[in-house]
Amino acid sequence: MSDKLEFVDLKAQYRAMKAQIDERIQRVLDHGQYIMGPEVAELEDKLAAFVGARHCITVASGTEALLISLMAMGLKPGDEVITTPFTFAATAEMVVLLGAKPVFVDIELDTCNIDASLIEEKITDRTRAIMPVSLYGQCADMDEINAIAIRHGLTVIEDAAQSFGASYKGRRSCNLSTFGCTSFFPSKPLGCYGDGGAIFTGDDALAQACREIRIHGQSARYTHTRIGVGGRMDTLQCAILLAKLDRFEWEIGQRKTIGSRYHTMLAGVEGVRTLALRPDRDCVWGQYTLQVEHRDALTEALQLQGIPTAVHYPKPLHLQPVYATSSFPNACPNSVAAAQYVLSLPFSPYLTELDQQRVARTIAASGA
């Protein structure tokens, strides 16, 4: 049997950038400004330039990015936020945490992103925001979503935790709506070595609100003008990302190449449906996820060959116990179907063609 594959090979990435990362970490240890050190502003400037947004505010995690954005727009108890149930829990969770209500709109089965054509019918006089998720690294129909938001005076928050580096009609994910929120969790397209995240916005007042909320609502030291959180990103994590940024464009290229290669290798394999890719945007493959008829059997066949897999996600949020009482169990049939069929394969910018062939061969042989 061949070697065990990594699901996300972070060690290969570290080996490729060890000198630069170690040096950046050492510099922080030498200056000792672990909280809000100079690397924080340096990273924010570089990330803002990278996505083309006016403002970048780094925060403690992707979850915190969503929370702080919702606080900055003034989301109140009783308000409604339209989002997808086919996502990581954090998306809807932060809405509930502020006493507001997530209103779930079903996905398109072929991209697994929110179906923009179903949004408008869910808007009520309590709706304040739309929160699309750029799932698996491909943006949702942001132009259509923004147009709806403008018609109804709503805020749009892109949950771009899986899509940092992706492009939509020539613009970067995170720079497509009122707010773009991303995560630097280690396995995300741009990952640090712990928790981290960022908020992007073009609005000066909202950016200022986010900066204040990040440090307990302080508009000046020990002047608390609003309620905030302890939501800063560590200097060390910022330093690690600064080292990784130098290679990020190359890594995005690798992600697209490796994703296309999986697509080609798996085209026409019985029982396998690869993700649909829209022609006006790209996908950075936050996860390489496909839909398979017989998921359990295939998972086992891959496991036997030392190939790990994951399921993003096994149950849509509207069927999770904590949300089930407040929604209709069968209201989002595509999300229910996707949860049954999706399977994520090993993926990183360092995955070799040989290993991909091994994965593809095992899938083809298993009669998925």
Per CB under 6 A, residues contacting ligand PLP are 61-63, 87-88, 90-91, 133, 159, 161-162, 183, 185, 195, 197
Q: Cβ(329)–Cβ(318) under 8 Å?
A: yes
Contact 99, 126 (CB under 8 A): no
CB of 246 to ligand PLP, least distance (A): 22
- What is the smallest separation between the CB atom of 151 and ligand PLP, expressed in angstroms? 26
CB burial readout 38-50, b (16+ within 10 A) else e: ebbeebbebbbeb
Nearer to ligand PLP, 245 or 364 (CB): 245
Nearest distance from residue 159's CB to ligand PLP, in Å? 5
Backbone φ and ψ for 4, nearest 5 degrees, come out as -75, 135
| Nearest distance in Å: CB 16, ligand PLP | 23
Residue that has been written with the tokens 């007042």 in this structure: 205
Specify the 3-state DSSP secondary structure of 283: strand
Q: Which residue is nearest to ligand PLP (CB)?
A: 62
Q: DSSP states of 176-232 as a string?
A: SSSEEEEE--TTSSS--SS--EEEEES-HHHHHHHHHHHBTTEEETTEE-S---B-P
Nearer to ligand PLP, 37 or 62 (CB): 62
Nearer to ligand PLP (CB atom), residue 52 or residue 186: 186
Q: Which C-beta is closer to ligand PLP: that of 133 or that of 210?
A: 133
Separation CA 364–CA 368 (nearest Å): 7
Q: Are 44 and 54 in contact (CB under 8 A)?
A: no
How many angstroms separate the CA atoms of 212 and 234, rounded?
Answer: 16
Cβ 138 to ligand PLP shortest distance, Å = 12
Q: Name the residue nearer to ligand PLP (CB basis): 40 or 161.
A: 161
Give the nearer residue to ligand PLP in terms of CB position, either 185 or 347.
Answer: 185
Q: Is 72 left (phi over 0), alpha (psi -120 to 50) or beta?
A: alpha
Residue holding tokens 């998921």?
A: 295
Name the minimum Å distance from CB 219 to ligand PLP: 26
For residues 163 and 356, which CB has a smaller minimum distance to ligand PLP in the complex?
A: 163
User: Which residues are bridge partners to 158 per DSSP?
Assistant: 180
CB atoms within 10 A of CB 256: 18
How far apart are CB 133 and ligand PLP at their closest, in Å?
Answer: 5
Q: How far is the CB of 129 from ligand PLP (least distance, A)?
A: 15
Amino acid (1-letter code) at residue 346? P
